Amino acid sequence: MPAVRRDLGSFGVIYEICVDSVAGVRAAKDAGAQRVELCANLLEGGTTPSLGLIRAARKVAGIGIHVIIRPRGGDFLFNDDEYAVMLTDIAAAKAEGADGVVIGLLTAEGDIDADRSARLIAAARPLSVTFHRAFDMARDPFAALETLIRLGVERILTSGQEASVLEGLPLISELIRRAGERIIIMPGGGITSRNVARIIAAAHPQEVHFAALTAEAGGMQFRRGHVFMGGELRPPEFDRLVTSGGIIAQVIKNTKD
């Protein structure tokens, strides 16, 4: 098993921001984050971004880019076609200069899909590998932890198998205790400027993960308000969610005050 790598040196707490645009990468960098998780479809929890987005994001210097490898929303039981797509997407992310990939596969019984995960990890090397919140759907968190350590994953993103990190703090703290220096446990899910200091004080994580989205009106002047491009459950057609550098900066500030 490789030693756990600290991607960008000694910064105290490392801040990873979940983003879905090049502007989000820039906002994260300017606000002081060390890394982004680059995604598409944040309303579905994040899916693999396009090749064009990866390439454009990689042109932003001075910040780490980890690309999520998830071909669809929903559960984490992938068929053979989806798995083949994941392998191809890992190769594309490597070719575009990503610093890491983010994966997550489970069996139908709720265990880590160790065999397929091992093949994805091997395909990703020498990039850093994170196992995402598929971990929160695993039936036995401690067995899952040991499996991922054995596979050599660098970090686990988790809300402590609860709806938010605050609710999952007891499990997160225990995972960090059991993990020691063998793997990074990265809390993520519902972290805000109001609760981040409490989370860090309770669990003492090395890294934290959060989104910093705010609604922003689009630039269209002509609008046909009764026509929608999505389904029945949809965001406002002419608004968009963008990554807020101000929110990121406030979260970081509140961990240091």
pLDDT in tens, 80-104: 999 999 999 999 999 999 999 999 9
User: Cα angle vertex 188, ends 182, 193, to 5°?
Assistant: 125
Strand (E) or helix (H) holding 149: helix 141-151
- Strand 184-187 and strand 14-19: the pairing is unpaired
pLDDT band at 12 (very low <50, low <70, confident <90, very high): confident
User: Cα angle vertex 129, ends 39, 28, to 5°?
Assistant: 45
Res 235: pLDDT: 60
| pLDDT over 90, % of the chain | 79
Res 3: pLDDT: 40
Res 220: pLDDT: 85
Closest CA to 188 of 104, 257, 125, 118: 104
Q: Which residues contact 49 (CB under 8 A, 6 or more apart)?
A: 20, 38, 39, 40, 57, 67, 68
pLDDT digits (tens, 9 = 90+) for 214-242: 888 888 888 887 777 766 556 665 567 78
